[in-house]
Amino acid sequence: MEKPIFLAKGQISWLSNKGIVKLNLILLISLISSCSCGYDTSMMNGLQSLDTWKASFNNPGAIELGLLNAIQNVGQLISLPFCAAYCDLYGRRNALVTSAAIVLLGAALQGGAQNTAMFIGARGVLGFGLALNITAAPLLIMELAYPPHAAPLVSIYNSLWGLGSLMAAWITYGSFRLNSDWAWRIPSLLQGMTSAIQIGLCFLIEESPRWLMSVNRTQEARDLITKYHANGDPSDPIVALELEEIRIALRVESENRRSTSYLSFFQTRGNRRRFFIVLAVGFFSQWSGNGIISYYLTLILDSIGYKTQDIQTLINAMVTLWSLIVGVGFALVVNRFRRRTLFLVSTAGCWMCYVVWTGLEATYEKSVDADGNGGNQNAARGVLALVLIFNFFYSIGWGTLQVTYPLEIMPFNLRARGLVLYNVFCALALIFNQYANPVGIEALGWKFYIIYDVWIFIELIVVYFLFVETTGKRNLEEVAAILDGESVEPPLEITNEGKTGNAVIAVAGTH
C-alpha cells in the first residue's frame, strides 16, 4: 500500500483564503446540529420548574420524570443501528436534511401534545431524528472541512450543545410568566428551530468529497476541494494531495469491507482497545456527574432551598450561559494541548468537585429542620459555585473531545461504525442516568452523591491506563502503531510553496 502523502508544517493564513472562509460559514449549518441535543436537556430542566407544565402532566414524580426524559434516548437507540448505513448509502448531506425534517416533526408534535402519551411519543420521534442528525453532522464536518480545521470544528460542534442549552434556558425563563399552557408549548415548539434553519438553508450545504468519490463522482469531489480548500485554483497541490489521500483511504476500505463489520472491533488487539475506548468515552461523557446538572438541576436547587420557578429558571439560564462560554473557549484551543492530558485534568477536576459538593450538600441537608426550614446558606451557595466549577472542568476534556477523540482513533473502514457505537453507548448511559438520578436524589439525598465520588475516581483510573495520546500523530498509521503495536515508516513530506499560501496541511487521516 502506498504511503500517505503530507504537506510539511508551516504558516497558514486561512483568513485570506475566501474559499476556506466561505466553507467554514457553510459548515455552521452542520455545526448547529448539536444545539438540538443541548436544547432538549435544558428545556426539560426548565419545564420541570413550570407550574403549568406540571399541571398539564399530572405533577410527574421521579419515575415519571425519568420516563419523560429517557424516552428521547430510547428513540435515538432505535434509530442508531440504521444511521451509518443511511449516511453511507444516501450521503451525509441528505442524511442531515432528512434528520432535520424528522426533528421538526417531533418538535411540532411535542408542542401540540394534548396528554402525557402524546408528549412521550413526540419525544421518541425527536430522539429518532436526532440520532441521524448527530451521526451525519460530525461526519460531514470532518470530511468536508479544511484539514487543519477538522478537529477544532468537530470540538466546536460538540461544544455548541451549550448554545442550544442556553437558548432553551432563556426561552423557558421568559415563558414561565405566561399563565397558560403556552408557557411550556412555546419552548417545546422552538426545539425545532435549528432543524428549520437546516432545511431552509439546505441548498447551501455541500456534500462530503469523500462520499462523492465513494460513489464515483470524482469530478464533483475535485470541484469542491478546488473551490473551498484551494480558493478556486485547480493547480494548487492541495487538490491532488487530498484526492490521492481519499483514493488511498477508499481503496483500503474497499479491500477490508468484506471482512469488516461490528465484529471487527473484537478481531485484533488494537481494535479491541478502540472498542473499549469508545465505550468508555460514551459512558463516561454522560456518567461523570454532568447528567444530574443537565437534566435535573431543578432537583439540585430544590435540595438546597431554591424552589421558586423564577429563581430556578434564572439559575438554569445562567448555568447554561457559563457552560457555553467555557465549552466554546476550550474547543477553540483544543489543539494546543495533549488529548490524554485534557481527559485526565477534566476527570480529576470533576471528581474533586463532587467530593466537595457531597460535603456541602450534606452540611445543608443536616442543617434543615423537620419542617424543611432553615438550612446553611453558605453551603447552598457553595453548591451553586461547584456547579459552575464542575462545568469548567467537564468542558476541558469531556465537553470538547467526546466526539473528536473517537473519530481520531478510528481507521477509515470503522469510523462510521465507531461513531454509531459511541452514540449507542451515550444513549444507553443517558437512559440509565435519567431513570436513576431522580430516584436516587429523592430517596438518598446527599448520600446519592457518594456514588459519583467513587465512580468518577474509577473513571480517572480507566482513562489513565486505557486512553492513548493522538496529539501530534499526523496520520492513522501513526495512531495504529500505538493501538496495534506495529511499527510504521514516517510519512513522506512535501513542502508547498504555491501561490495560495496553504503551506502546511496534514492531509492524510482527515477524511
Strand partners, 6: 493
- 474: pLDDT strictly greater than 70: no
Cα dihedral 263, 264, 268, 269, rounded to 10, equals -80
Q: pLDDT value at position 173? A: 80
At 304, which CATH number? 1.20.1250.20
Using pLDDT thresholds of 50, 70 and 90, give the confidence band for residue 200.
very high
Q: pLDDT value at position 289? A: 87
- Which residue type is seen at 44? M
- 147 within domain boundaries: yes
- 239: pLDDT strictly greater than 60: yes
- 247 within domain boundaries: no
Classify burial at 472, counting beta carbons within 10 Å of its beta carbon; exposed 0-12, middle 13-18, buried 19 or more.
exposed
Using pLDDT thresholds of 50, 70 and 90, give the confidence band for residue 328.
confident
- 488: pLDDT strictly greater than 70: no
Give me the sign of the Cα torsion angle 39, 45, 50, 55.
positive
What is the Cα–Cα distance from 452 to 433, expressed in whole angstroms? 12
Cβ contacts of residue 175 below 8 Å, gap of 6+?
A: 50, 182, 183, 184, 186, 187
Q: Which domain holds residue 433?
A: 32-205+262-471
- 509: pLDDT strictly greater than 90: no
Q: Is 367 helix (H, G, I), strand (E, B) or coil?
A: coil
What is the Cα–Cα distance from 46 to 313, expressed in whole angstroms? 6
- 488 within domain boundaries: no
What is the Cα–Cα distance from 167 to 302, expressed in whole angstroms? 23
- 498: pLDDT strictly greater than 70: no
3-state SS of 220-269 is HHHHHHHHHCCCCCCCCHHHHHHHHHHHHHHHHHHHHHCCCCHHHHHCCH
Q: pLDDT value at position 14? A: 65
- 173 within domain boundaries: yes
**How much is the average pLDDT of 119-147?**
89
- CB count within 10 Å of CB 498 equals 14
Q: pLDDT value at position 412? A: 66
Q: pLDDT value at position 464? A: 94
- 500: pLDDT strictly greater than 70: no
- 498 within domain boundaries: no
Q: pLDDT value at position 217? A: 92
Cβ contacts of residue 363 below 8 Å, gap of 6+?
A: 376, 379
Could you report the per-residue pLDDT of 332-379, keeping only the tens digit for each?
Answer: 787 788 889 999 999 999 999 999 999 999 999 888 776 667 778 899
Residue with the bigger pLDDT between 450 and 252: it is 450
What is the Cα–Cα distance from 191 to 208, expressed in whole angstroms? 27
46 Cα distance to chain centroid: 21
Q: pLDDT value at position 129? A: 92
Q: pLDDT value at position 259? A: 60
- Which residue type is seen at 487? S
Q: How many domains does the chain have?
A: 1
0.85 exceeded by pTM: no
Closest CA to 251 of 214, 207, 224, 209: 214
**How much is the average pLDDT of 132-140?**
88
The lowest-confidence range among 71-80, 159-168, 482-491 is 482-491
Q: pLDDT value at position 344? A: 95
- 504 within domain boundaries: no
Closest CA to 408 of 150, 188, 202: 150
Q: pLDDT value at position 249? A: 74
What is the Cα–Cα distance from 336 to 211, expressed in whole angstroms? 30
DSSP annotation of 502: B
Q: Is 511 helix (H, G, I), strand (E, B) or coil?
A: coil
Residue with the bigger pLDDT between 373 and 187: it is 187
3-state SS of 6-54 is EECCCCECHHHCHHHHHHHHHHHHHHCHHHHHHHHHHHHHHHCCCHHHH
Cα distances (angstroms) measured from residue 412 to each of 27, 317, 477, 509: 22, 40, 11, 8
What is the Cα–Cα distance from 36 to 33, expressed in whole angstroms? 6
Q: Is 504 helix (H, G, I), strand (E, B) or coil?
A: coil
- 229 within domain boundaries: no
Using pLDDT thresholds of 50, 70 and 90, give the confidence band for residue 177.
confident
Give me the sign of the Cα torsion angle 434, 39, 321, 62.
negative
Cβ contacts of residue 345 below 8 Å, gap of 6+?
A: 393, 396, 397
- Here the cell at position 369 is 429542620
Closest CA to 96 of 187, 153, 26: 26
Cα distances (angstroms) measured from residue 34 to each of 104, 122, 134, 137, 394: 14, 19, 7, 8, 17
Under 8 Å between Cβ of 205 and 96: yes
Task: Name the average pLDDT for the chain.
Answer: 81
Using pLDDT thresholds of 50, 70 and 90, give the confidence band for residue 101.
very high
- 403 within domain boundaries: yes
Could you report the per-residue pLDDT of 243-287, keeping only the tens digit for each?
Answer: 888 888 788 767 666 566 778 888 888 888 889 999 999 999 988
277 phi-psi bin (left φ>0, alpha ψ -120 to 50, beta other): alpha
For residue 493, what is the enclosing H or E element? strand 492-494
19 Cα distance to chain centroid: 27
- 499: pLDDT strictly greater than 60: no
Using pLDDT thresholds of 50, 70 and 90, give the confidence band for residue 198.
very high
- Which residue type is seen at 357? W
Using pLDDT thresholds of 50, 70 and 90, give the confidence band for residue 456.
very high
Under 8 Å between Cβ of 152 and 31: no
